[in-house]
Structure 1
């Protein structure tokens, strides 16, 4: 087992152009500083940082084109994209559905990196975070979701989802500053 977990940053590149998007954007902007600080800690320890993002049905776009599309949308999407832009050493994947492990190269990448522990951050807690953590649990990965690094349209949705994951998967939800790195 790898000494370091991998940091997954899910779906932070988003136009927020849908019903409830304004609420999600507001909550997402609030978690950006904690994700940036955690990502910087992973970088400092040489631990893998992996961005996985919905493709918004833009099947011909790669990850960088997707980020450019979100930046071009302006508003909260651009603000979040600018703050969380991947470093050149970060790994980047697009996904077609909710789980970052479903029909993506992520399982192969994690195997190559010899990673079995995941720190999962991003949006939305009650959708893509939930699907990814449940899928990871089924596949035998240990997952942690720092409570201050995930957002949904409401705080109630975040708490309800994290409570469910703690109860059903014995998953931990500490603050991001408590994540131990070798």
Structure 2
């Protein structure tokens, strides 16, 4: 992570979180999730490109899958030859992206995310990834308690069950005041402007 020093504050006080997308999908139900995860990955990839263009920092927040000696390159390598390989190849981090390894569901639990985001100057988070009904929901709840504004684009999250994805999005919208419009309905520029 040689070039991932914090040189300029987050554009629009925003940061993009990509949660658990560096995955082998090698868990019960993982292969069945592949079509919805692939759709979310395509949308996340487009959103990530737009965030780069406007200076929004990208922060990967990823489960360690029990690999306690792991770091990002090892997690990327572990996906090779697995059901998640194409997803990881599409979304693997760039050298100047930030990477936070989490041991549990929330991106804030026992990680340095709570320290990193203020250093980036981020007060508004775009939360994407898997699974909507567990890790996205728990991360969003912790972010809400820390008074971050949230956008959880509905096309950039997935879980094993579409109904549970909708349920999680409803909770985030109604209980956490999260914006849940898809990236087709709202773009990064509009999200940044809405803070003013």
TM-score by length of 2: 0.87
2:188 paired residue number: 180
1:170 paired residue number: 177
**Using the alignment, how far apart are the partners of 2:92 and 2:31 within structure 1?**
21
Please list the CA deviations of residues 8-35 of structure 1 after superposition, one character each: whole Å capped at 9, or x if unmatched.
Answer: 0000011222221122222101111110
Aligned residues: 180
Q: Does 1:111 align with 2:84?
A: no
Counterpart contact for 2:128–2:152, Cα < 8 Å: yes
1:57 paired residue number: 66
1:8 paired residue number: 17
| RMSD after superposition | 1.4
Counterpart contact for 1:13–1:53, Cα < 8 Å: yes
- Which of 43, 49, 54 is the matching residue for 2:52? 43
Counterpart contact for 2:40–2:157, Cα < 8 Å: yes
Runs of 4+ in structure 1 over 6 Å off: none
Unaligned runs of 5+ in 2: 1-8
Please list the CA deviations of residues 78-113 of structure 1 after superposition, one character each: whole Å capped at 9, or x if unmatched.
Answer: 110001011121111111011111111111110101
TM-score by length of 1: 0.94
Counterpart contact for 1:25–1:76, Cα < 8 Å: yes
